[in-house]
């Protein structure tokens, strides 16, 4: 043994072999980190609720009298409430996905990428964490049901929450897919604004999808968010006392060649889109530096 080696002994670092347990532990750590960041950022909790509440109470109350004839006596805030349930999850999930860009700017993302775990575990943990945070925000909006004349029915609450959870996962996966290739927060926010705003307005969250112009009806059927808004509206309206005319006008649903798409098929579409975007995000994250 040389003198240099004796003075400065080499410390061997043993890197544990990858296993299912280590990958699940990595997913849990990334998921838990997202929850900790959310819990300690009270300003984020408040700001992500501002926009849904503005749409629900300011826009809804302001246009209620003007639109009462078109809604057949149904309060506008009651009609748009299912859409607000969806967008409350939409905005929060996108902000959760933005944490990847922050981590890249501050160097933390590189530390995670050199960890002895699969990069897919990091992506899955991010998506699950973002979905959990967005669902927590969605629960807050669910609690406002009574304020818009929607009953607190346990079955309705469970069904709506399940749909929110699926939507939150899909939107977070979409956001992660986009964020992987973006290096600056300003660029990410610009891209998200360009995508989210049309997606929200075309989804039918603020207007009935029956009787739309042909071009807008086509866009509505290709809007992924529409397949979350429609089943939420169907669930909420099933617990309301509405006239047949109001139900036919306000809850006509999404149709494919005259066939109304069932709730389970819409939920399955949201899940499938989420899994596809998750797979794309994993491939992109695995090839990025």
Domains of the chain, by residue range, sit at 43-287
Least confident of 46-60, 148-162, 168-182: 46-60
Q: Which range, of 136-145, 164-173, 219-228, 242-251, averages the lowest pLDDT? A: 242-251
Q: Which pLDDT belongs to residue 15?
A: 54
Residue 38's SS3 state is helix
Across the chain, mean pLDDT equals 82
Least Cα distance to 167 among 92, 95, 237, 218 occurs for 92
Q: Using alpha carbons, select from 206, 200, 238 the residue that is nearest to residue 76.
A: 206
What pLDDT score does 163 carry? 92
Quick one: pLDDT band at residue 4, thresholds 50, 70, 90?
low
Determine the Cα angle at 94 with ends 90 and 279, to 5°: 100
**For residue 187, what pLDDT is reported?**
80
Q: Tell me how crowded residue 272 is: count the other CB atoms within 10 A of its CB.
A: 11
In the block, which residue shows the tokens 């649903």? 253
Asked whether the predicted pLDDT for residue 10 surpasses 80, the reply is no
- The reported pLDDT for the residue numbered 271 is 93
Residues 6+ apart with CB under 8 A from 263: 231, 234, 235
At 272 the pLDDT is 94
- Does the pLDDT of residue 11 top 70, yes or no? no
Q: Residues 198-213: pLDDT tens digits? A: 888 898 888 888 778 8
Residue 157 is predicted with a pLDDT of 92
Reported as a pLDDT band with limits 50, 70 and 90, residue 99 is confident
- Residue 162, pLDDT above cutoff 90: yes
What's the gap between Cα 124 and its chain centre?
14
Q: Is the pLDDT of residue 214 over 80?
A: yes
| The token pair that represents 272 in the structure block | 């499938």
**What mean pLDDT comes out for the span 38-65?**
78
The pLDDT value given to residue 276: 93
Residue 253 in tokens = 């649903």
């Amino acid at each position: 043994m040389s003198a240099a080696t004796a003075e400065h002994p080499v410390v061997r670092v043993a890197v544990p072999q990858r296993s299912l347990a280590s990958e699940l532990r990595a997913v849990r750590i990334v998921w838990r980190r997202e929850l900790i960041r959310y819990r300690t950022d009270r300003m984020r909790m408040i700001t992500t609720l501002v926009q849904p509440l503005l749409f629900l109470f300011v826009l809804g109350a302001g246009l209620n009298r003007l639109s009462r004839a078109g809604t057949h006596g149904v309060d506008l805030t009651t009609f748009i409430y299912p859409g607000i349930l969806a967008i409350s999850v939409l905005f929060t999930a996108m902000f959760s996905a933005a944490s990847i860009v922050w981590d890249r700017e501050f160097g933390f993302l590189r530390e995670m990428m050199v960890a002895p775990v699969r990069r897919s575990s990091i992506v899955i943990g991010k998506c699950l964490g973002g979905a959990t945070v967005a669902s927590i925000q969605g629960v807050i909006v669910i609690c406002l049901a009574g304020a818009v004349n929607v009953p607190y029915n346990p079955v309705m609450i469970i069904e709506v929450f399940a749909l929110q959870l699926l939507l939150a996962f899909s939107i977070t996966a979409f956001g992660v897919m986009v964020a992987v290739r973006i290096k600056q927060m300003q660029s990410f926010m610009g891209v998200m604004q360009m995508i989210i705003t049309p997606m929200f307005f075309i989804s039918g969250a603020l207007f009935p999808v029956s009787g739309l112009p042909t071009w807008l009806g086509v866009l509505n059927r290709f809007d992924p968010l529409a397949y979350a808004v429609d089943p939420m509206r169907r669930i909420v309206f099933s617990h309301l006392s509405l006239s047949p005319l109001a139900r036919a006008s306000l809850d006509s649903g999404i149709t494919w060649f005259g066939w109304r798409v069932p709730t389970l098929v819409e939920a399955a579409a949201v899940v499938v889109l989420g899994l596809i975007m998750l797979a794309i995000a994993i491939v992109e994250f695995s090839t990025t530096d």
